[in-house]
Structure 1
């Protein structure tokens, strides 16, 4: 009995000693708490020989969320690639950024989402960018691409908070066939046309639209010099119409022309158009026709001719051009 009694006393002593050490340890611990970077104290630790440089915040990080499924249509899963300014580590709350929904051009064929690196430049300026995959012409012709864009916008409206998007500030942007798609989306969004969900059930409001060298009347593409066939049933435009000759099917062409939806009594968001005057694929005159229709009907529009530029490429992603786009967007977000 005595042996067990002594053991109990000994264990009690160890317990008391450990408790005292734990109290001493906790007295040296700084409990974690949420703080912004501005509030967080500068470390006082120092060692001889270390070098010091000043933090440069001029080139912010961007986070990419790839292959985010937003719908299934015609047996095809459709995805978004989403770019968002990186959230500050340890931030109590994240700021919200205007949302750009971008439609990558592809001659309406299967898209290669190769504009993501260039669009990072815009994300760094403070935008969430959702790059849309649409049904390509081998799966579904017109108006599937416009329908899919509206579906993608509504997906981002419902899920934008996950990506720090301010979905009260939505901008559309597209290049080439994506330019045509965003124009068609913009001029029909308030007419309840080419819409799987319905504008009356789930309204879309657009602050601004940017069209980079999009076709606007596919029946007139070969009325200017071009390196591509735009007429036969195997041409991109023919496939877009369902595999038919473009000039032999004016009734199929007519609903694809965005100018046909521009009217004085129609509400259309502000539109910026940019096009190179040496475009070998989509003639420059295609943008002139669209701009003329907008001006004739007193719509808010601006057009930039990029002298010497071809179909896309570096001139459209230059510092000057991106600044023009950024200023246009900011002007219409107010």
Structure 2
């Protein structure tokens, strides 16, 4: 009968734990290294506000490491695009999980859809979410001084408006003891001037009341309501005197929904005003695919965020 000896729990770090000497016949041996980065903890969804009868949620991912259980992580606030309608908050989860594995806390923001609340509700909600995250920084293990804002499509537009206006209007009073300002912005193929979109190739209408752009200004015709359309243009909130967070723009050259020209307009205005901006054209890429779902795209985002966060 095999004699076993009880071994008390070892009080040693993981790197010092002894290798087992057992090797049953036929067992294949390999020696690999982890390349995915940190483990990631998915926190329970949290309601950060209730507006127009809707609970608005945050989905938060936190890197996890045994060596530094209390480490504070830089934060990426991500605004999922949805043509300003109801969001699928899981749409970019694979890419965001990979970013979290690289060492970032990720908070995916749910905003009020334009069907219920038109512009600037989406911007107001995102600012509230940023402030809520800062208030709860210790609980989320995030560094409130290191916050990047990233959005795609309509979420890119919301990220631009939020980042450009910071603690200025459009805004709300919730959690105003904290700032909504961010260190930098990443805009993936976001609309920037909705009244100009139909002047460039696209597969959908951007003018009529039933278009995404019409819905976001209150289900109205975009060209017939210039005062409402102009209010949604991020470039109108820029000035040479006012500080602007550094901006990274990434847009597919073959985008069939948001014309590439939309990002060109933003880039030209940023350069004209002497702002810090980087622009990457993904040749042949469409609206969020054909070049965005790869490590190379995430490398560009991370390099930019590391530079300015």
TM-score, reference length from structure 1: 0.84
1:78 aligns to 2:56 (yes or no):
yes
**Deviation, structure 1 residue 178:** 0.2
What's the CA shift string for 1:269-291, capped at 9, x where partnerless? 00000111111111111101111
Structure-2 separation of matches of 1:277 and 1:81: 31
- Within a 5 Å distance, the mapping from 1:94-105 to structure 2 comes to 94-105=70-81
Structure-2 separation of matches of 1:310 and 1:93: 40
1:260 aligns to 2:236 (yes or no):
yes
Match among 205, 215, 234 for residue 229 of structure 1? 205
When residues 51 and 153 of structure 1 are mapped into structure 2, their CA distance, relative to the original with a 3 A threshold, is same
1:129 aligns to 2:121 (yes or no):
no
Structure-1 separation of matches of 2:276 and 2:293: 23
Structure-1 separation of matches of 2:223 and 2:212: 13
Structure 2 residue matching 1:79: 3-state secondary structure = strand
**Deviation, structure 1 residue 92:** 6.2
Q: Residues 227 and 280 of structure 1 are in contact (CA less than 8 Å); yes or no, is this contact kept in structure 2?
A: yes
1:276 aligns to 2:252 (yes or no):
yes
Any unmatched runs of 5+ in structure 1? Answer: 1-27
When residues 45 and 320 of structure 1 are mapped into structure 2, their CA distance, relative to the original with a 3 A threshold, is closer
What's the CA shift string for 1:57-86, capped at 9, x where partnerless? 211332222522111111100011112223
**Deviation, structure 1 residue 54:** 2.8
Q: Report the RMSD for the aligned CA atoms in angstroms.
A: 2.1
Partner of 1:188: 165
Structure 2 residue matching 1:171: 3-state secondary structure = strand
**Deviation, structure 1 residue 47:** 5.2
What's the CA shift string for 1:289-330, capped at 9, x where partnerless? 111111111000011111111111141122221111111111
Partner of 1:69: 47
1:320 aligns to 2:301 (yes or no):
no
Partner of 1:329: 305
- Larger-gyration structure (1/2): 1
Partner of 1:110: 86
Aligned residue pairs total 302
1:57 aligns to 2:49 (yes or no):
no
TM-score, reference length from structure 2: 0.91
Partner of 2:139: 162
Q: Residues 36 and 92 of structure 1 are in contact (CA less than 8 Å); yes or no, is this contact kept in structure 2?
A: no
Which deviates further from its counterpart, 247-256 or 40-49? 40-49
Structure-1 separation of matches of 2:138 and 2:220: 43
Match among 295, 299, 306 for residue 282 of structure 2? 306
**Deviation, structure 1 residue 151:** 0.8
Q: Residues 163 and 181 of structure 2 are in contact (CA less than 8 Å); yes or no, is this contact kept in structure 1?
A: no
Structure-1 separation of matches of 2:179 and 2:160: 17
When residues 277 and 163 of structure 1 are mapped into structure 2, their CA distance, relative to the original with a 3 A threshold, is same
Match among 135, 152, 157 for residue 175 of structure 1? 152
Partner of 1:13: none
Structure-1 separation of matches of 2:19 and 2:294: 40
Partner of 2:272: 296
Q: Residues 43 and 60 of structure 2 are in contact (CA less than 8 Å); yes or no, is this contact kept in structure 1?
A: yes
